[in-house]
Amino acid sequence: MNGGLLVAGTTSDAGKSVVTAGICRWLARQGVKVAPFKAQNMSLNSFVTREGAEIGRAQAMQAQACRVEPTAHMNPVLLKPGGERSSQVVLLGRPVGEMSARGYHGGRQARLLGTVLDSLAELRATYDAVICEGAGSPAEINLRRTDIVNMGIARGAGLPVLVVGDIDRGGVFASFFGTVALLAPEDQALVAGFLVNKFRGDVSLLEPGLEMLHGLTGRRTYGVLPFRHGLGIDEEDGLRVSLRGTVRESVVAPPVGEDVLRVAVCAVPLMSNFTDVDALAAEPGVVVRFVDRPEELSDADLVVVPGTRGTVRALEWLRERGLADAIVRRVAEERPVLGICGGFQLLGEHIEDEVESRAGHVDGLGLLPVRVRFAREKTLTRPVGEALGERVEGYEIHHGVAEVAGGDPFLDGCRVGQTWGTHWHGSLESDGFRRAFLREVAAAAGRRFVPAPDTSFAALREEQLDRLGDLIEHHADTDALWRLIESGAPQGLPFIPPGAPA
């Protein structure tokens, strides 16, 4: 078998990432050697592979759904926004420069088509099936000429296309029809059908609409997935982050001790790898919220300053909003603060940045004995170490080089009293360390909080991926889906006018 499929969507956030992960897990459970692929991802949430390549976290999670190690070929182009109009371009896991949106779509993107097709061919030569994820909508007619992630890759590799629509938003039938009708005849020939996502209620009430859609387009619906809470994976396709939706919902469990522990995460600009706090939210009795006002820190037992693609900009934002002063007061009162990556850097004394912001010398908050100098070469590693008597694994993605001049060692960063700083993302996913850290926080906060002794973050992730696989297995026509992956789009699919504009 040498099959493939492109999962496209009617819009951003239609469910492409979770559907791709679900199909990957379903195939892996059938014994198929499967891999994920996303030609181009725009995300501030990234991951480091074992060979030191940076890719989108969604593709890393999809690789976990496949039960394989992630590689750079699974996400050959990663765009990391640095503002409204520019992004860092990461090619095959390594940064190659900053580029404006106009410059990227004006020519650079089209030249990358060969690179992404080569990566896809490499995966298809290695795996039985490759499940590709599109970006945004394939009917972005203003971008079709330079497209390398939707119909550009589908046509280049001859992939059948499954279009996912979020019915919970409304207008899904119009979205399905309009998506097909705005594609060129050659692109339409690859669009095999549709998958309805997030349906609430009795499916029989939807069936007349699905039949009419089939009559209008000549394309079938491959499944209707019910609405389920807490099924997001690590993803982000743009600059905007829903602060109410970033922490994945999990089974509500009462705290083991007498108290809950409240965690406030500063929602800094260009927040990156905010998934670091998912492991905290998975603990029974830990309440995580994202905040942007100083008064929201007052009742927090732990304040987290997360990673960011703009350390100096985040520092300015904290000062403008009064959050910087609130954090300084917390530290003076010996109340716990944790800085991760960019959050660690801005807790230090000085920042010298001629790379990210080009702001030169900037004073930090002065809460940790650390000086940071931004290097042009990015650090991309998967460190392993020990803290609080527990083994810790993490990953580093940063230009800032920290010179630590005091404090107690902490994951290649430092700790002074109850102020902690590290460049290590993902450290809180190490269960023993997370429990030890939360015990320290609870003691400092005077809370009678007790970490659950048996919470396994890795096991919770596996359960979530299995739930995604179950959705596909139980609510999609898996026989038809298998034929699509194995044999490609059906022949003779009708053209739906008007097609793409000339």
In angstroms, the CA 111 to CA 294 distance is: 46
**Listed residue (329, 309, 305, 335) closest to 413, CA to CA:** 305
In angstroms, the CA 187 to CA 94 distance is: 31
Element (H, E) at 161: strand 161-166
CB 429 within 8 A of CB 458: yes
- Catalytic, out of 399, 423, 425, 475: 425
Rg of the chain in Å (alpha carbons): 23
Decide if 66 is catalytic: no
DSSP 327-366: HHHHHHTT--EEEETHHHHHTSSEEEESSSS--EEEE---
Residue 352: phi and psi, rounded to 5, are -115, 105
Beta bridge partners of 413: 410
In the DSSP assignment, the letter for residue 494 is P
In angstroms, the CA 63 to CA 83 distance is: 29
Decide if 425 is catalytic: yes
In angstroms, the CA 59 to CA 55 distance is: 7
- Catalytic, out of 24, 66, 266, 341: 341
What residues act catalytically?
Answer: 341, 425
